[in-house]
Amino acid sequence: MMSYDPENIFARILRGEIPCRKIYEDDFALAFHDIHPQAPIHVLVIPKGPYVSLTDFCGEAPAELIAGYFRAVGIVANELGLNDEGFRALFNVGAHGGQEVPHLHVHLLGGKRLGPMLTKS
Ligand code: AMP
C-alpha cells in the first residue's frame, strides 16, 4: 500500500491552499467540480482524511467517516439532480485503475447518456 502524501493536490484543496469550485462540504467530505470535466456534470467527492484509495479507506477509516463519506456522496448526487436520469460513480484505484491523485475520490458523472462503461479498444 502506497503511503499517504500530504502534499497531494486534494490534500491541499482540503487545507484551503488551492481553490476549488465547491459544491458541498460537511464534517466528512468535500465535493467539487472536476477541473477537466468528461461529462456535462463531473464532480469529485473526497473524504476528510488521509486515505490514498478505496481499499485503504475501507480497511483503515473509522466507521463514522466511511458512513459519513458515502452519505455525502448520496447527498451530492441528489443535490445535482443526478438521480433523475441516472449517473455513473467511479473510483480509479492504483496504476491499472488509472488513478492520478493519491487521495481517495469518487467521480460522479452525468448529464448525458454515458455509453459503455469502458472504452472499447
Ligand atoms: P483520477 O485519475 O481518478 O486520480 O482522477 C483525478 C481527477 O482529478 C481528474 O479527473 C482531474 O481532472 C482532477 N483534478 C486534478 N486536479 C484538480 C483540481 N485542482 N481541481 C479539480 N479537479 C482536479
The finding on whether 100 has its CB within 6 A of some atom of ligand 1 is yes
Residues annotated as catalytic are 105
pTM (2 decimals)? 0.97
The pLDDT > 90 percentage for the chain reads: 94
Interval between CA 23 and ligand 1 midpoint (Å): 15
Counts of helices then strands in the chain (DSSP H, E):
5, 5
At residue 92, does pLDDT exceed 70? yes
| 63 contacts: CB under 8 Å, gap ≥ 6 | none
The finding on whether 40 has its CB within 6 A of some atom of ligand 1 is no
Interval between CA 36 and ligand 1 midpoint (Å): 7
What is the pLDDT of the chain when averaged over all its residues? 96
At residue 65, does pLDDT exceed 90? yes
pLDDT at 34: 98
pLDDT at 2: 76
At residue 120, does pLDDT exceed 80? no
The finding on whether 106 has its CB within 6 A of some atom of ligand 1 is no
Q: How far is CA 46 from CA 30, 33, 35, 58, in A?
A: 5, 11, 14, 13
At residue 108, does pLDDT exceed 90? yes
